[in-house]
Amino acid sequence: MIIYPTIELMKGRCVSLWRGRLEDPQGWDVDPVDVSKSFADAGAEAMHITDLDAVAGSDGNASLIAEIVRKVGIPVQVAGGYRTQEAIDRAFDIGAARVVMGTIAVRHSEWVKAMAKYYPDQIVLAVDVLNGQVMVDGWREAAIIAPETLIEEFASAPLAAVKITDIYNDVDATESSIAVIAHLAEYARAPVIASGAVHSIDDIARLKYVPNIAGTLIGRALVRGTVDLKEALAVAAEAKGKVAEFI
């Protein structure tokens, strides 16, 4: 299982969102480039960046993301505001490995499928779920489509992955998200990346046993120090133990 250490950017700073609200960020006194390089130094195989300004319609972090991609030395998956082919092209031109698409995939699914065919194994479908509903526009609005239906709609698209976030668990740190993500992973043909599921090392150990989970994002837990990246990578790399059979 691949660990994707994660940073969220707003106005050039690493932030976390209080209860997922774009208007209420918590800033961290760290340098985004230095943090990203520390992920690679710890042994991470890849990382994830979410541009929260781009989610809100700005491109203020574009040069910073380009610098991180250039300096970090590992594949970088980018998310936030990729609504046009020009924006996707720019991401790949600066060296990003993958582009994550969420709201646009709900509203213009055929176009995103076409982009997945144009960039095979480079587009990630984001499915952000709150109380059984797909959320769009930075988790501020509920879509009509069910998450299972959205995932199935992209079954034939050559996606790199499907990123599934249980928003409720991400903001309230409950233990429900693994069950939610495990359920939705059953509908995915592409590998699944869990998001919002890891608050402790034990969560990584549990995720390893969920079918079709290929990786997980870890962000706030790293910044707060509740998860050590080297320990997380070691747990993710361990061989699975035998699971007892129930009769």
Q: Is residue 226 part of a domain?
A: yes
For residue 64, give its domain range: 2-233
154-208 pLDDT tens trace: 999 999 999 999 887 665 555 556 889 999 999 999 999 999 889 899 999 999 9
Query: Quick one: how far is CA 75 from the chain centroid?
Result: 14
| CATH code, domain carrying 140 | 3.20.20.70
Q: Is residue 94 part of a domain?
A: yes
Q: Is residue 10 part of a domain?
A: yes
Q: Is residue 52 part of a domain?
A: yes
Please state the pTM of the whole predicted model.
Answer: 0.91
Q: Is residue 200 part of a domain?
A: yes
Kindly list the distances between the CA atom of residue 32 and the CA atoms of 7, 28, 39, 218, 223, in Å, as whole numbers in the listed order.
8, 10, 11, 15, 11
Q: Is residue 18 part of a domain?
A: yes
Count of helix runs (H) and strand runs (E) in the chain: 12, 12
Q: Is residue 245 part of a domain?
A: no
The model's confidence at residue 246, banded by pLDDT at 50, 70 and 90, is very low
If one counts the domains in the chain, the total is 1
Gap between the Cα atoms of 161 and 182, Å rounded: 15
Active site residues: 8, 128
Gap between the Cα atoms of 102 and 142, Å rounded: 12
- Helices 62-72 and 32-42 cross at an angle (nearest 10°) of 30
Q: Which helix (H) or strand (E) holds 217?
A: strand 213-218
Arithmetic mean of pLDDT, 94-123? 97
Compute how many other C-beta atoms are within 10 angstroms of the C-beta atom of residue 215: 22
DSSP conformation class of 100 = E
Q: Is residue 238 part of a domain?
A: no
